[in-house]
Structure formats: structure tokens, C-alpha cells
Amino acid sequence: MRDIRAESAELQRELVERVHKFGPVFADGVAEGERERRLPEATIRAIDQAQLAMIWTAKHYGGLEANVVTMSEVAKALSQYCPSTSWVVNNINGSNLLAAKFPRQALDEVFGDNPGAKLASVFAAAGTAVRAEGGYRLTGTWPYGTGILHDDWAILVAREVDDAGEPVGGLSMLVPAADTAIEDTWHTVGMRATGSHTVVLRDVFVPEHRVISGEAQRSRDNATELGLPPLFRTAGIAAMAVVCASVVLGAGQAALARVVEKAPTRGIAPSKYSRQTDSQTFVSSLGRTALSLDAAEMHVRRAATALDDAAYGATSLPDGELLRIRGDVGRAVGLVTTALDELLWAHGAASFAESNPLQQYWRDANTAARHAMLNMHIGHELYGGSFFGLDPIVPSI
């Protein structure tokens, strides 16, 4: 009998090894990515060669169909070399997973001839859709289209309006990237290479088979469908939140490794310490910071494991568990951003040299941590409210 979990563990090891194999390519692309505000073509080729954009694509289409823990470990490993690359890979796979809710005809169109198809997704309802014969006419402007410069398709959310312009419901729509225009709006201090520009459509026709309701997109009704592989029984929105947090965690872990590596050869100005490791204050503080990162990792791992366990068991996670997962990811990124501040204090002013990767880990992680899905204050409120049966303050968990 197949041991699916053992197979998943083996795939996880293989994928993390691929990340490290191509790690020098990802690291070499950081400067260009920062300058051009997009991933370099060499980075995209490495992603394709390592099949990192296929982790959450169905085996039916030639994908790898890995679990949440695997995607989390890949994200952490990628962040060691380039957090922006990790964020883009995370967004592609999360979007590919969410695309599984669309009809088979649409999926055949996206993945049938291209198992490595890359998707973007923007879930702000920033467009309007008007019914037309055989589909809809879509118009809108969607900010923060992570990776859209490299993607093949995009999932965009719109409000359906009637002939009088009144909203009648929400729609999730699958659109070829070739049908979109890109407005250059991504000017940030962190995650610069993600190229998260604004997606623009003007009266673009979207056929019926590439449109589903917002309710269908957010639904977790597939959680107990035994005919589906475990990946496609997974709560997709929660899974995306976990992997987003993994990107931030990986940057924190990489920063810790850098500080530890350099400590024996760095002094502490203006003290007499010629080596940071001679300072009990430094060593004690580093231990505390490392434990904070360990705690963040435990939160992320607990959340990823809960999602995978439910998917393997074809059980639906109760809302209380999903709310805890949002609390987990919020707490994790809060711990990481605090740890990064402590690590830059520990390393000293040299942390902010452009040649020092510490400043980039700090900028990228702090930028990513402010993503709406990772908002730690909302995560805490969601989890706290679960103890009293309060209605969730977000539309989908």
C-alpha cells in the first residue's frame, strides 16, 4: 500500500535540495531584481528547471501535487537566497491551487499544454463584470499583482453588476496574462524584485467556463471529497497564509545564520570586546532571539501540519482551528520581525550596508509581514474571538 506521507517527505527533501542547487543563481539575481523591480530571467529559468512553480499543480497535468509542509519548507529555503523569489514562487503555487476550483475545461486550457503554467492572483474586488453572451466583459485595475510580469494567467476578483450598474455578486475570473496591461506601480523599500505591479483590463471578454462565484472560490466543501487528491482537499486560503508566513520566517532564519557566522570575527563598538562572542550580553541576547525564531517555526509548522492532516484524513477543519491558524501565522511574523530588529542591533551598523544581506532580509521580511493575510493584530483578534464564538472579522479563513 502506498505511504503517501513517506512519498511527501521524500519529495520535500528533493525539492529543498533543488533550491540549494540553484541557490547561487537566486542569490546572484538579487541585485538585478532590486534594481529592475522584477525577477531576473536567469531566476525564472532556475525556477522552471527546478519545477518550483509546479509544487501545487495537479499530477494529472504533470505537476508535483505536494503538501503544505513541503511548500513551507521550500519557501523557507528560498528565502535564504532571495526572499522576493520565495514570495513569487509562493504566490504562483498558491494561485495554482486556488485555480483548481475552476471547471475542468478552464484547467485544461491553463495546464493542458503547459504543466509549468504560472498564475497570479489578486483578491481585492477591484473590477466590474457585466454579463455578455457566453461570458462577461471585465474592466478593472488590480494592485499588487505579484509576479505578473512572468505569469501566464491571473485570477482576478470582480463585482458583477446589472444593467443599471448595481452590484449583484462577486466573481472570481481566470484571465490570460496576455489580455492584461501592466501599470508600473511597484516602488517599495522591500520585496522589490516581486514586481507586484498593477494589473489593468479594459472591457476584456472572459468566457463562462473561466468564471466562478466568489462563494465557490472561498468554499471549503471539497474538504471531504474522497475522490480528490489530498492537496485539493486542503483549505487553500489558510494554506496560502501559512506559506506567506514561511517566506518571512525563512528570511529571519537566514539573518540569524549570518549573525552567528560573523560574530567570532566582529567586535562590539565602542566596547573593548574584539569578538562579539566574548560578550555574555551578546550571547544571551542571541539565544533569546534564536528561541523566538524557533517559536515562530513551531507556529508555522503546527499550522501546516494541521492543514495536511485534515487533507490526508478527508476531514473538514472546524472554524476554530482555521482561526487558530490565522493566529499562528500572525504570531509567527510578529516574532520574526522583532527577532530581525534584535539581530540587526546585535550585528551592528554594518547591517545596513548595501552589500550586507542582513538589511535586505530586514526590509523584505518587514514588507511581507504587512501583507493583509499576515496581519498579526487581525490574526490575534481572530484567534481570541474563537474562544467566545464571535463571528470572524474577515470574509474567508
Yes or no: say if 244 and 368 are a contact pair by the CB < 8 Å rule.
yes
Residues of the chain with CATH 2.40.110.10: 119-213
pTM: 0.96
- 111-138 pLDDT, tens per residue? 999 999 999 999 888 899 999 999 999 9
- Lowest mean pLDDT, pick from 133-147, 160-174, 260-274, 369-383: 160-174
Calpha distance 137→297 (Å, rounded):
44
Give the residue among 92, 90, 88, 84 at the shortest CA–CA distance from 361.
Answer: 84
CA distances from 256 to 5, 340, 347, 383 (A): 31, 8, 10, 29
What letter does residue 354 receive in the DSSP assignment?
T
Residues of the chain with CATH 1.20.140.10: 230-386
Task: For the chain, give the percent of residues with pLDDT over 70.
Answer: 99
- 81-107 pLDDT, tens per residue? 999 999 999 999 999 999 999 999 999
pLDDT the model gives residue 7: 87
Yes or no: say if 77 and 16 are a contact pair by the CB < 8 Å rule.
yes
Calpha distance 200→198 (Å, rounded):
6
pLDDT the model gives residue 29: 98
State the alpha helices, DSSP H only, in the chain: 4-21, 23-28, 30-36, 41-49, 68-79, 83-99, 104-111, 214-218, 236-262, 280-313, 319-347, 357-369, 376-386
Domain 119-213, CATH: 2.40.110.10
Q: Which helix (H) or strand (E) holds 211?
A: strand 211-213
- Note the Cα 293 to chain centre separation in Å: 19
- 211-250 pLDDT, tens per residue? 999 999 999 999 999 999 999 999 999 999 999 999 999 9
What are the φ/ψ torsions at residue 190 (nearest 5 degrees)? Answer: -135, 160
DSSP 76-127: HHHHTT-HHHHHHHHHHHHHHHHHTTS-HHHHHHHHTT-TT--EEEEEEEEE
Which CATH superfamily hosts domain 4-114?
Answer: Acyl-CoA dehydrogenase/oxidase, N-terminal domain (1.10.540.10)
pLDDT the model gives residue 79: 98
Domain 230-386 part of CATH 3.40.309.10: no
Residues of the chain with CATH 1.10.540.10: 4-114
Q: How confident is the model at residue 1 (pLDDT cuts 50, 70, 90)?
A: very low
- 38-75 pLDDT, tens per residue? 999 999 999 999 999 999 999 999 999 999 999 999 99
pLDDT the model gives residue 204: 97
- 144-163 pLDDT, tens per residue? 999 999 999 999 999 999 88
Calpha distance 37→40 (Å, rounded):
9
